[in-house]
Amino acid sequence: MISKEVREELRAVHSELRKPFPVESHSIRELPGTSNLYIYLPWEAIRDRLDEICPDYQFEFTLPEYDHTANLVTCVVTLEILGIKKQALAAVPITQINAKTQKDMSRGNAVDRLHAEAIKNGAEAHCCGRYISNQLFCYKLLLKHKERLDDETRGKLNKMHNQFREAMQSALGYADAPKPQKQSEKNQPSILHAMAGVNHKHKISEGQVRRLWGMGKGELGLSTEAIKLAYKQYGFDKAEDINTDKYDAVIDYMKILSERKAEPHSSKTDNVVPFTSSLYPQHNAFVKRISVITGHNADWIMKQCSHYGGNEPGDLDPSKLRLLIQDIAVDYGFSSCVYADREKAAIAFHGKVAFYEGAGQKWGQGVLDWITETQQAAQQQTVR
């Protein structure tokens, strides 16, 4: 058990590590497979911050594990600060082949890149650089002090204007009105993807492939064969072949495999809502997924559904599902004591999902990430 003195000292260290880095420490790169740009912190900046705030930190790395089927090399990193150890998974592609030229675009060797990724992920487990996941915040930060950026970074920042235009408008309250749904979107089979405006005929990105394998091996503890079983269940020979409209289903199946493997009779699954199949079965699956984290039981969720004219999430159309998810998220943010009141929880939740949609990412993923971040904050007993 952590002593009161260590807890207070660690809290002070985490408070310093949470602070944004100097504007000039940030870099901008293009996300693989997209035209979007991404603001990030080089690993050297992370190392320097740790040297400054807690110079007696200690990293430990497991030996790299190569999975040539998934084109990934992974390791587990442990960062110890003040005697408190936290772990994280790191994964990078072994090679990065340009789809057009078929040339290897990898920088350095895979182990060096894995080492850099592990330092960043380990530091994030101890709160360092966590704000980077909020790209809208990063964009505003750099925009406010762009005179301190070099010419190359300033030019890339200017290109990000359209990428964040909708998110900026939403933050100001201009993007709440419903938009007309295109006919092509109505024909898409996946409702959650339709809400995010994703074409179901597209294959998942390289980043999503890495996330699938990283989650499977790290968070879920699955073997390579178990992960293959999950996507082959939906008719895909390789993870790279997964269509965007089946990505969430594959992830859900992996979670089921993990539960069967690790805790087949765990009480953690007692709160999983026993919904039946209905008009929108994917809505049921999504609510089941988040209720495992939030702890909301079937009675509570069904009561909320009745306010929107349904008996269960699968009865609700996409617009009403959003209202239900909002109820669950805000209640979780407040009841977990992360947010001082429901209004603050609602503002934070709306800001998160608005950023994801404004950046062209999935609404559902924004919901999951917000709930996961709230869970982590609750475990640290940090009230906002």
User: What's this model's pTM, rounded to 2 decimal places?
Assistant: 0.47
Return the higher-pLDDT residue of 13 and 68: 13
Backbone conformation region of residue 182, classed left if phi is above 0, alpha if psi is from -120 to 50, else beta: beta
Domains of the chain: 1-168 (3.30.390.80), 190-265 (no CATH), 267-384 (no CATH)
| Tens digit of each residue's pLDDT (9 = 90 or more) over 301-319 | 888 888 888 888 888 888 8
Return the higher-pLDDT residue of 373 and 34: 373
Query: Which pLDDT does position 115 carry in this prediction?
Result: 94
Question: Is residue 26 over pLDDT 90?
Answer: yes
- On whether the CB atoms of residues 301 and 288 are closer than 8 A, the answer is no
Mean pLDDT of 110-131: 92
Backbone conformation region of residue 115, classed left if phi is above 0, alpha if psi is from -120 to 50, else beta: alpha
Q: Which of 154-158, 201-205, 283-287 has the lowest mean pLDDT?
A: 201-205
Return the higher-pLDDT residue of 34 and 127: 127
| Tens digit of each residue's pLDDT (9 = 90 or more) over 6-23 | 889 999 999 999 999 999
Tokens 């179901």 correspond to 200
Single-letter amino acid code for the residue at 110: A
Q: Which of 119-123, 264-268, 278-282 has the lowest mean pLDDT?
A: 264-268
Mean pLDDT of 142-148: 92
Strand, coil or helix: what is 295? coil
Helix locations, 61-160, DSSP H: 110-125, 135-144, 151-159
Residues 6+ apart with CB under 8 A from 74: 64, 65, 67, 89, 90, 91, 114, 213, 214, 217, 218
Q: Which of 138-152, 213-227, 306-320, 361-375 has the highest mean predicted lDDT (pLDDT)?
A: 138-152
- On whether the CB atoms of residues 376 and 338 are closer than 8 A, the answer is no
What pairs with residue 85 in β-bridges?
80
Question: Is residue 92 over pLDDT 60?
Answer: yes
